[in-house]
Amino acid sequence: MTATPPCPAAPPAASIALVTGATAGFGQAISRALLQAGWRVIGTGRRADRLEALRAQWPEAFLPLAFDVAGRAAAQGALASLPAAWQDVDLLVNNAGLALGLERADQASLDDWDRMIDTNIRGLATLTRLLLPQMVRRNRGYVINIGSIAGDWPYPGGNVYGATKAFVKQFSQNLRADLAGTAIRVSNVEPGLCGGTEFSNVRFKGDDERATSVYAGVQAISPEDIARIVLWLVQQPPHVNVNRIEVMPVAQSFAPLSVARG
Ligand X SMILES: NC(=O)c1ccc[n+]([C@@H]2O[C@H](COP(=O)([O-])OP(=O)(O)OC[C@H]3O[C@@H](n4cnc5c(N)ncnc54)[C@H](OP(=O)(O)O)[C@@H]3O)[C@@H](O)[C@H]2O)c1
Please give the positions annotated as active site: 161
Residue 119 Cα to chain centre, angstroms = 12
- 41 contributes a contact to ligand X by CB under 6 A: no
Residue 35 Cα to chain centre, angstroms = 17
Q: Is residue 116 a contact partner of residue 108, using CB atoms and an 8 Å limit?
A: no
Bridge partners of 245, per DSSP, are 189
Beta carbon nearer to ligand X, 90 or 190: 190
Q: How far is the CB of 89 from ligand X (least distance, A)?
A: 17
Q: Which of 158, 162, 191, 249 binds ligand X (CB under 6 A)?
A: 191
Q: Is residue 52 a contact partner of residue 26, using CB atoms and an 8 Å limit?
A: no
Write out the binding residues for ligand X, residues 213-252 only, by CB under 6 A. none
Nearest to 68 by CA among 86, 103, 44: 44
Beta carbon nearer to ligand X, 119 or 128: 119
Write out the binding residues for ligand X, residues 45-64 only, by CB under 6 A. 45-47
CB count within 10 Å of CB 131 equals 21
- Give the strands of the sheet with 142-146, arranged side by side: 62-66, 40-45, 16-19, 91-94, 142-146, 185-191, 244-247
Please tell me the number of Cα atoms within 13 Å of 1 on its side-chain side: 2
Q: How far is the CB of 174 from ligand X (least distance, A)?
A: 19
Q: How far is the CB of 1 from ligand X (least distance, A)?
A: 45
Distance CA 11, CA 73 (A): 34
DSSP 8-state symbol, 149: G
Beta carbon nearer to ligand X, 179 or 226: 226
- 197 contributes a contact to ligand X by CB under 6 A: yes
**Cα-atom radius of gyration of the chain, to the nearest Å?**
19
Write out the binding residues for ligand X, residues 118-147 only, by CB under 6 A. 119, 146
Q: How far is the CB of 177 from ligand X (least distance, A)?
A: 23
Q: How far is the CB of 159 from ligand X (least distance, A)?
A: 14
Q: How far is the CB of 75 from ligand X (least distance, A)?
A: 9
CB count within 10 Å of CB 211 equals 18
DSSP 8-state symbol, 16: E
- 70 contributes a contact to ligand X by CB under 6 A: yes
Beta carbon nearer to ligand X, 179 or 188: 188
Beta carbon nearer to ligand X, 17 or 140: 17
Distance CA 131, CA 135 (A): 7
- 31 contributes a contact to ligand X by CB under 6 A: no
Closest residue to ligand X, judged by C-beta, is: 25
- 97 contributes a contact to ligand X by CB under 6 A: yes
- For ligand X (CB under 6 A), the number of binding residues is 26
Residues in contact with ligand X by CB under 6 A are: 21, 23-27, 45-47, 68-70, 95-98, 119, 146, 148, 191, 193-194, 197-199, 202
